[in-house]
Each structure stands twice: as C-alpha cells, then as structure tokens.
Amino acid sequence: MTKKTILVACGAGIATSTVVNEALKNLCKEHKIDVNLIQCKITEVSSLADGADLLVSTTIANKEYPFPVINARAFLTGIGIEEVKQRILAELVK
C-alpha cells in the first residue's frame, strides 16, 4: 500500500484540527497504515491539494477537490465517530 497524504483542516489550523490530527495519527497507527498528515487551515487546502489523497475537516469545505472530503466533527462530539473512522479507513485502503 502506498503512503497516503491526509490534509487535516479546520478554520484556523490550530485547535480542532489538532484534535483530529492526533486522533488520525492514533487510528492509522492502530491499523498499521502509513500516512502523511498535514494540518492546515481550510483556506490552505487548495495550495496543498497536489499529492493529497483525502481531506478530513472540522469545518465546511466550500470547494470541490479532486479527492474525497470527510467531515470530522464526530471527533469533537463523539457522535457517529465509528462511522467516520470507517469512512476514513475505507478511503485509505483504496
């Protein structure tokens, strides 16, 4: 499996993306998936899109991207978190 790059975005690229970034780091480690996690602001996603495989965001992505976008607010609320984790894992093993 090739190493995947995940953009982890929130509005400021500091608070909620840090929470999600750590959760993804643990999730990928648990499933032995080698990933490159890039924490950023949602406004920076376009400039980081080359080479990205997935966007996981705690805010609304108002643009179309050439890769899947998964809303990650479940990592903040705990509601529906297993479903979101499964969606992320499914994208990473493609």
Examine the residue annotation and report whether 40 is marked as an active-site residue of this protein: no
**Cα dihedral sign, 8-88-19-28:** negative
Task: Provide the angle, in degrees to the nearest 10, between the axes of the packed helices 81-92 and 16-30.
Answer: 60
Nearest-Å Rg of the Cα atoms of the chain is 12
Answer for the pair 87, 70: CB distance below 8 angstroms, yes or no.
yes
Catalytic residue among 10, 23, 72, 88: 10
The sheet with strand 35-41 has its strands ordered as: 35-41, 4-10, 54-57, 69-71
- Which residues belong to the active site? 10
